[in-house]
Amino acid sequence: MLEETDLVFIALGSNLGDRRGHIGRAVDLLRRTEGFEVVQVADAYESQPMYVVDQPVFINTALSGRCALGPDDLLARLKEIEVEVGRQKTFTNGPRVVDLDIVYFGAEILESETLAIPHPRRLERDFVLRPIAEIAPGFVDPVTLRTVEDHLRDLAESAA
């Protein structure tokens, strides 16, 4: 039986053009990726932009998957998908056609020049925690050893 600790979680967002369509296309391209199997996709949520607030509202979701690729190979594939869907380089935290981020790679903890897993800003982002909590509320963050659901609750309480 597959354990939650074996799953990869990817956050997806879009705030330009056909936001839902861009996310749907990215999910479809992931489904067709050799070495990656989409297990579950969360509902999509609208969210206000963070960091650079003068831009359109985002649609965000997350998915879980089984992955035979290594973290760097998965990151490279996600960047290819972003380009295939139409993302063009702008500026950090600026508007984008689609954005795909590895949030968790099972229970792995990794930090390199190109990749940090778990995602370093995951715990401050409702738009990341909420969809993951929808599909895997009991997933335990390998750094904090607390569930995603607990972190989402903490974030909501700190915003109140």
Topology, domain 4-120: Alpha-Beta Plaits (3.30.70)
Query: What is d(CA 72, CA 17) in angstroms, rounded to the nearest whole number?
Result: 29
pTM reported for the whole predicted model: 0.92
- Please confirm, yes or no, whether 125 is among the known catalytic residues: no
pLDDT of residue 1: 43
- Does the annotation mark 146 as catalytic? no
Q: How far apart are CA 78 and CA 92, in angstroms?
A: 17
- pLDDT tens, position by position, for the chain (160 residues)? 445 557 999 999 999 999 999 999 999 999 999 999 999 999 999 988 777 777 788 999 999 999 999 999 999 999 999 999 977 777 566 678 899 999 999 999 999 999 999 999 999 989 999 999 999 999 999 999 999 999 999 988 887 7
CB 60 within 8 A of CB 15: no
Catalytic status, residue 99: yes
Radius of gyration of the chain (CA): 15
Catalytic residue (choose from 19, 96, 125, 130)? 96
Closest CA to 102 of 66, 71, 130, 68: 71
Question: What is the rounded CA–CA span in Å between residue 156 and residue 160?
Answer: 6
Tokens of 46: 């609208």
Is 87 assigned a catalytic role? Answer: yes
